[in-house]
């Protein structure tokens, strides 16, 4: 079993097509006729542009204009006057077209690949794509052609470039495995648009998986199995058909109210990482945003985003979501989220160190820029501010005091904002859970961050395989903590939501209903499934199950009881 990043949900089972890039090596030779060499380059360029335009037209017809727009970048990099001039003057100075093209695009590739901003780094793949296309034309070689594939192919590539994906015949591809790429890479964006299960960043995939191997791609969990056993095949075939059936059946929940089996309304909202993700939230029928991880805005920049830049991003989400609630979490830096230009000192124990609200309260002027931007955006929708990693009452008091200062500044500047903006806190530390009753007097709402809460409660790092048995939401200690937090909020009459991954766990939902959770914030593709599961449980049924579950002593017993009940 190989682990990677879950690029696109679903289970794919098929036969590996290991697509290794063509050999584009050449021996540089000085051209005898400079003009003829430039004409050779021009012809290759025109052919590349024509092929790319044809791909764009195909993509527009199959996966829509937005994804096709990605290929426009290829045309831009191919037609860029600066690059063309560099290539032509290299040829004039005695280089062959292959070498001139290669050196010019390598220079741009290195420039993009070394940028701090992940989005710019991803552009390096586009540059490499243009170079490959032009070189292949000049050398008369075929680039990997994924347009003619046998049925049920699992495409295994080092890097899935946009041009490869444009050609993929959706009907024939059962899954994609790559050696590179993150969730914001073009490969991931297009794989999701195509709804092809994909696992990215699987180490040495093109060598450990052999052409013709039977392969299972579990895009939901980021796992790949090569040459599965019969038992694994049976298991994943049934998972695949369950996934397909569930997906089709879930459409019945689109546009429906989110209610429990006995008609109690709960809020079902989405977790997003950047303003454009609001589209996915809307597409999947979310009722708002329960967590906008604002740190991605900071991670995607090369320096601190200004008040205006932040305002534009927050306003965009507020406007897209119309008047639905949008909870924006203030900068959650540190731990596993590094922002190079903040130059945070290396710590022995970064997960327990200088991070999130601790960092922000120590850098008040910087924090006030974000708070002011959030306040300004609150004039355009139902924005709420959420403070991460709170462990003590004074942190929320201090954050609130800063918000009041920002409001006074905005009054002076004559800029409008929502004077009654809600300020909530994440509950993701055992300390916050233990003083949840006190925090509930200071906060307008809670959102439980189970991703961190489980780790801190169980003293178990989620990334460490050896302690994975402890990192479980079903651990009795975690369940008791959840109960305590939710009932503190219920008693104080404030809204309590959950934005950790556990909110989308179908097994846990009856327990959360029983505890009295008001809001479920999940990844957009989990919206309809969560709405369905919520509709299956009445409070009475959920209470009966939860009462039993709370008597159990181990995570395994809890999970088994929840699985039995779900069946
Ligand atoms: C959490 O900890 O559950 C959470 C939602 O925050 P993050 O995953 O961003 O740490
Ligand atoms: Mg967290």
State pLDDT tens for residues 225-247: 999 999 999 999 999 999 888 88
Asked if 186 is an active-site residue, the reply is: yes
Distance 292 CA to ligand 1 centre (A): 11
464's tokens: 């460490």
Pocket, ligand 1, Cβ cutoff 6 A:
291, 293, 332, 428, 449-452, 499-500
**pLDDT tens-digit map of 409-456:** 999 999 999 999 999 999 999 999 999 999 999 999 999 999 899 999
DSSP string, 436-486: HHHHHHH-SEEEE-HHHHHHHHHT--TT-GGGTTTS-TTSHHHHHHHHHHH
Asked if pLDDT for residue 193 goes beyond 90, the answer is no
Q: Are 272 and 280 in contact (CB under 8 A)?
A: yes
Nearest atom in ligand 1 to 295's CA: 9
Residue closest via CA to ligand 1's atom 9 equals: 293
Nearest atom in ligand 1 to 452's CA: 2
Mean pLDDT confidence for 388-416:
98
Report the DSSP pairing between strands 5-8 and 198-200: antiparallel
Please classify residue 388 by burial: count the beta carbons closer than 10 Å to its beta carbon, then call 0-12 exposed, 13-18 middle and 19+ buried. buried
Q: Which helix (H) or strand (E) holds 84?
A: helix 81-92
Please classify residue 132 by burial: count the beta carbons closer than 10 Å to its beta carbon, then call 0-12 exposed, 13-18 middle and 19+ buried. buried
The pLDDT confidence band at residue 125, using thresholds 50, 70 and 90, is confident
Distance 282 CA to ligand 1 centre (A): 22
Q: How many residues does the chain have?
A: 567
The pLDDT confidence band at residue 156, using thresholds 50, 70 and 90, is very high
**pLDDT tens-digit map of 319-374:** 999 989 999 999 999 887 778 889 888 888 988 999 999 999 999 999 999 999 99
The pLDDT confidence band at residue 523, using thresholds 50, 70 and 90, is confident
Residue closest via CA to ligand 1's atom 7 equals: 451
What are the φ/ψ torsions at residue 536 (nearest 5 degrees)? Answer: -85, -15
Residue scoring higher pLDDT (24 or 176): 176
Counting residues of the chain whose pLDDT is more than 70, the rounded percentage is 93
Nearest atom in ligand 1 to 271's CA: 5
Asked if pLDDT for residue 110 goes beyond 90, the answer is no
Residue 258 pLDDT: 98
Residue 61 pLDDT: 67
Give the number of the ligand closest to the Cα of residue 450.
Answer: 1
222's tokens: 């980021």
Pick from 329, 357, 391, 428 the residue to mutate for probing ligand 1's pocket: most ligand atoms within 8 Å of its CB.
428
Residue closest via CA to ligand 1's atom 6 equals: 449
Mean pLDDT confidence for 157-184:
77
Distance 171 CA to ligand 2 centre (A): 39
Mean pLDDT across the chain, nearest whole number? Answer: 90
3-state secondary structure 177-224: EECCCCCCCHHHHHHHHHCCCEEECCCCHHHHCCCCCEEEEECCCCEE
**Candidates 88, 96, 186, 360; catalytic one:** 186
Pick from 270, 290, 293, 390 the residue to mutate for probing ligand 1's pocket: most ligand atoms within 8 Å of its CB.
293
Residues 6+ apart with CB under 8 A from 107: 86
Distance 418 CA to ligand 2 centre (A): 27
Mean pLDDT confidence for 145-154:
81
């Amino acid at each position: 079993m190989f682990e990677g990043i879950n690029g696109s949900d679903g289970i794919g089972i098929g036969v590996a097509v290991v697509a290794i890039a063509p050999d584009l090596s050449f021996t540089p030779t000085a051209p005898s006729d400079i003009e003829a060499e430039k004409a050779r380059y021009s012809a290759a360029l025109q052919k590349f542009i024509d092929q790319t335009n044809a791909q764009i037209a195909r993509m527009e017809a199959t996966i829509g204009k937005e994804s096709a727009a990605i290929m426009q970048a290829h045309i831009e990099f191919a037609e860029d006057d600066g690059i063309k001039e560099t290539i032509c003057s290299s040829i004039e100075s005695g280089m062959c077209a292959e070498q001139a093209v290669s050196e010019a695009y390598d220079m741009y590739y290195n420039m993009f690949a070394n940028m701090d901003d992940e989005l710019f780094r991803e552009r390096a793949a586009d540059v490499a794509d243009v170079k490959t296309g032009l070189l292949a034309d000049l050398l008369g070689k075929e680039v990997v052609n994924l347009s003619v594939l046998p049925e049920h192919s699992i495409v295994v590539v080092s890097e899935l470039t946009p041009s490869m994906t444009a050609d993929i015949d959706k009907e024939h591809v059962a899954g994609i495995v790559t050696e590179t790429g993150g969730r914001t890479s073009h490969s991931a964006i297009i794989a999701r648009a195509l709804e092809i299960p994909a696992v990215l960043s699987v180490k040495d995939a093109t060598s450990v998986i052999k052409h013709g191997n039977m392969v299972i791609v579990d895009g939901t969990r980021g796992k790949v199995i090569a040459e599965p056993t019969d038992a694994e095949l049976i298991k994943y075939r049934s998972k695949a058909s369950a996934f397909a059936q569930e997906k089709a059946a879930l459409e019945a929940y689109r546009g429906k109210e989110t209610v429990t089996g006995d008609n109690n309304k709960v809020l079902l909202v989405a977790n997003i990482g950047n303003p454009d993700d609001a589209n996915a939230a809307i597409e999947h029928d979310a009722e708002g945003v329960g967590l906008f991880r604002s740190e991605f805005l900071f991670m995607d920049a090369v320096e601190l985003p200004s008040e205006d830049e932040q305002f534009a991003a927050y306003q965009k989400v507020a406007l897209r979501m119309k008047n639905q609630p949008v909870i924006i979490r203030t900068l959650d830096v540190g731990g596993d989220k590094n922002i190079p230009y903040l130059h945070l000192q290396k710590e022995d124990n970064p997960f327990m160190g200088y991070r999130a609200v601790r960092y922000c309260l120590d850098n008040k002027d910087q924090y006030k820029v974000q708070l002011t931007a959030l306040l300004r955006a609150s004039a355009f929708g139902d924005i709420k501010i959420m403070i991460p990693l709170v462990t003590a009452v004074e942190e929320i008091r201090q954050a609130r005091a800063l918000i009041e200062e920002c409001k006074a500044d905005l009054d002076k500047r004559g800029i409008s904002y929502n004077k009654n903006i809600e300020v909530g806190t994440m509950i993701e530390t055992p300390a916050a859970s233990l003083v949840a009753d006190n925090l509930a007097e200071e906060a307008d709402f809670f959102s439980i961050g189970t991703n961190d809460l489980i780790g801190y409660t169980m003293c178990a790092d989620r990334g460490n395989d050896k302690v994975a048995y402890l990192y479980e939401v079903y651990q009795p200690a975690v369940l008791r903590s959840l109960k305590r937090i939710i009932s503190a909020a219920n008693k104080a009459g404030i809204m309590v939501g959950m934005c950790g991954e556990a909110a989308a766990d179908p097994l846990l939902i009856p327990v959360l209903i029983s505890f009295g959770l008001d809001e479920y914030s999940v990844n957009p593709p989990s919206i309809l499934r969560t709405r369905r599961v919520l509709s299956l449980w009445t409070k009475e049924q959920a209470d009966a199950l939860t009462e039993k579950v709370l008597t159990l002593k181990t995570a395994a017993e809890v999970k088994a009881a929840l699985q039995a009940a779900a069946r």
